[in-house]
Amino acid sequence: MRLIKLLLISIVFFFLLLTAFTSLIPSTVRISRAVDIQASKEEVLPYLENEQRWPEWNRWFQDSIKKIDVRFNNKTDSSLQYQWATGDRNITSNFMLYGVREGTTTVQWFFEFELSWYPWEKLGSIVYDKQMGPVMDESLGNLKSLVESNP
């Protein structure tokens, strides 16, 4: 009986300690990548606005086993915002376009995750950059090649 009581107290203590530790992890996580494209904003925008063209450059839509539902949210003169839904998670995806130099457009792509207080969710968010970053880099590289080869 003592062993069971010690085990239960240890589990509760460990859970509380883990919860306290993960409360230091922010509730919002942003994964961001950018690329410079030798083209005007007007030449880049059609590839980002038209979701039917995303499979031409976006790796998640080229070989996605999971179904990704994308919903357009908002557009300004230099940004596009989408809501991605995969299973039980909704993710905000943004494209920002900057004309820093003449003839060059910088495309910044970022995802924002809103996390719950659950320790396992916050701990899992630590690896989001390593999971998503390489796919984002490859996709933006594909976008750059596609836009620059089709002036």
| 72-84 pLDDT, tens digit each | 888 888 889 998 8
pTM: 0.79
Is residue 65 over pLDDT 60? no
Query: Alpha-carbon distance 106 to 4, whole Å?
Result: 60
Architecture of domain 27-149: 2-Layer Sandwich (3.30)
What's the whole-number mean pLDDT along residues 46-56? 89
SS3 63: coil
Length of the chain: 151
Position with higher pLDDT, 21 vs 85: 85
**pLDDT given at position 117:** 81
**pLDDT given at position 15:** 84
Q: Give me the residue spans of the domains in the chain.
A: 27-149
Is residue 106 over pLDDT 80? yes
